[in-house]
Amino acid sequence: MILFVHRKDLRVDDLPAWDAIRARGKQSLHVLILDPFLLKRERHLEHSGINFLQHAARLQKLYQAAGQRLHVLYGEPAAVVSGLLASHPVEELVFHEDFTPYATHRDRQLRATAEAAGVAVTAYDEQSLVDLREFQRGSGRSEPYKVFTPFYRKWSDYLLHFYRPASAVHVRELATAELHPSAAEAFALPPELAASLAASRGAEAGHAGGSTALAPDPHRVLGGFLAERLRSYADGRDRFAHEATSRLSRHVNVGAISVRAVYEALLAHPQREAWLRQLAWRDFYIYQARLDAHFFTYEKRYDLSTLDNRHFQAWCEARTGIPIIDAAMTELNTTGWMPNRLRMVTAMFLTKNLLCPFPYGEQYFRYKLSDYDNTLNRGGWLWCASLGFDAAPYFRIMNPVTQSETHDPEGTYIRRWLPELAHLPDKTIHRPQLHAIVDLKTSRTQAIDVYRGLLHSW
Ligand code: FAD
């Protein structure tokens, strides 16, 4: 028997590990382990934790519809796997790889647990669209790409010549096993989690609101975007008052749809370049997370005690007095969503104009974003704080007022999220309020000085 552990791959098709399972012709025991650490600390049962559970419920339904068995268990992953190995005739443990520090640590423990029990372990790489291990530059091909544009060139070329299509194996083709009652009892979900999953399973797909909705079908979300909005994406993506982007991130990040399925659907559309480039940014950050030794530890360079807590709190609570910042933070706090351009604008404002170390903002987004992903969130914050590969130059600081005037001249977005300003004319609605906590001009000059010194001293 093969033990397959689901992680950020909450779907029933295009799972490279399943090609191997089918080829071995063995029965497989499929589990999804709800890890108390991730639910409490990383995903926090606020927005992205809810997204994960809604997709877990959807996954249970997909298995059920295919007449197969998925066992959703609760506990510390190595302890659960150890219990499963003790109660089932498992010969091999199989999963898809993840590269965050927590995932690396967890997988080391899983490997040690399996090896101690004499069980083989095989991990498959499936997060990125291309095989990033082949991405080195230089004559000896030992240097990682540090700048996005050459990376993108190589990436596009790779897709043309070496792309490996999505796997065709569907869960219905596997022989999934029952769980031994002792394991079902030992790793049962706490009642509130079990009730939440059951309620989601019973809810209608896409039904808005609350933690108990069922996640929508990501293939439909993608299909809707490709049919209706792709053609205007290049021009519309930064017009944050309109829903011009795909809103696919929260589904891709839990693996509810594979990035290969996304790419293959996109191939049918001639106007794909601008959107494809965004998928390349995703791979670029995954690449950095694997190759930049500092990617997960840049905060060690900061003196985190220098925080002006009043400024940070005002930013979190949408009280900065800069309308577009407060509108964007209000949307985030209310819905768990913020458009990409405004993520850049609010992050730059926090790290540069307010001189707040990036980990504070990075952590705040972690708790609030429904599409939170450790690698992409960190990549975005590092870019805005002028750190990491191909970061924004330290002297490039987006002016929130200009950004608002350029991308939403009528102030529609501010009026939507800050109704108290709705009466203001288009011309003045973007301007800082009387109580603004910083002057944009002087804080910009100061930030350039501070960052010049900071980056040169490292
Ligand atoms: P679309 O514009 O439709 O793009 C399609 C897909 O491409 C996205 O779903 C995503 O997978 C990828 N993508 C798009 N823009 C980027 C980008 N700038 N970087 C990397 N990949 C991208 N994205 C997350 O998924 N999770 C996060 O936690 C996250 N945190 C961020 C924090 C900051 C400070 C910044 C600046 C960006 C962050 N992003 C994050 C990237 C980006 O904002 C979102 O991926 C995007 O807004 C999702 O919307 P969409 O699915 O409609 O994207």
Q: How far apart are CA 391 and CA 393, in angstroms?
A: 6
What is the predicted pLDDT for the residue at 221?
97
Q: Using CA atoms, how far apart are residues 34 and 6, in angstroms rounded to an integer?
A: 10
Pocket of ligand 1 (CB under 6 A): 237, 245-249, 252-253, 278-279, 281-282, 285, 340, 343-344, 347, 365, 369, 371-373, 376-377, 380-381, 384
Distance, in Å, from the CA atom of 249 to the CA atom of 304, rounded to the nearest integer, reads 30
Q: What is the predicted ipTM?
A: 0.99
Give DSSP secondary structure letters for 321-389: S-HHHHHHHHHHHHHS---HHHHHHHHHIIIIIS---HHHHHHHHHHH-TT--HHHHHHHHHHHTT-ST
**340 CA → ligand 1 middle, Å:** 6
Task: Take residue 335 and report the two structure tokens written for it.
Answer: 């819905």
Q: What is the pLDDT of residue 208?
A: 47
- If you measure from the C-alpha of residue 376 to the centroid of ligand 1, how many angstroms do you get, rounded to a whole number? 7
Structure tokens belonging to residue 26: 């063995």
The gap between the terminal CA atoms of the chain, to the nearest Å, is: 52
CB count within 10 Å of CB 133 equals: 11
**Helix then strand then coil, % of the chain, to nearest 5:** 55, 5, 40
Q: How far apart are CA 455 and CA 458, in angstroms?
A: 5
Tokens 């519309």 map to which residue? Answer: 236
Phi, psi dihedrals of residue 309, rounded to the nearest 5°: -60, -30
Between the CA of 423 and the centroid of ligand 1 the distance, in Å, is 32
Task: Dig out the tokens for 157 from the structure.
Answer: 């070329």
**What percent of the chain stands above pLDDT 90?**
81
Lowest mean pLDDT among 6-15, 77-86, 199-208: 199-208
The mean per-residue pLDDT over the stretch 9-21 comes to 95
- Name 31's bridge partners: 5, 71
158 known member of a binding site: no
Lowest mean pLDDT among 46-50, 105-109, 263-267: 46-50
Average pLDDT estimate for 92-100: 95
Residue 210 tokens, joined: 């609350």
Q: What pLDDT digit, counting tens, does each position of 31-47 carry?
A: 999 998 888 755 555 78
358 vs 266: CA distance, rounded Å:
34
- Does the annotation flag 197 for ligand binding? no
How many other CB atoms are found less than 10 A from the CB of residue 314?
22
Distances (CA, A) of 301 to 200, 391, 392: 43, 16, 18
Mean pLDDT, to the nearest integer, of 348-376? 95
| Interatomic CA distance for residues 213 and 202, integer angstroms | 8
| Rounded CA separation 258/264 (Å) | 10
From 278, 335, 348, the mutation candidate for ligand 1 (largest count of ligand atoms within 8 A of CB) is 278
Whether pLDDT at 307 is above 80:
no
CA distance 95 to 72: 15
If you search the block for the tokens 């589990």, which residue do you land on? 31
Question: Which residue from 234, 238, 227 is spatially nearest to 266, judged by alpha carbons?
Answer: 227
Q: What domains are defined for the chain?
A: 1-126 (3.40.50.620), 127-164+218-291 (1.25.40.80), 298-457 (1.10.579.10)
User: Residue 39 gets which letter from DSSP?
Assistant: I
CA of 278 to the centre of ligand 1 (A): 8
CB distance 204 to 214 below 8 Å: yes
Q: How far is CA 144 from CA 188, 287, 290, in A?
A: 44, 9, 10
Consult the annotation and say whether 248 binds a ligand. yes
Tokens of 6: 């689901």
How far is the C-alpha of 373 from the C-alpha of 379, rounded, in Å?
Answer: 10
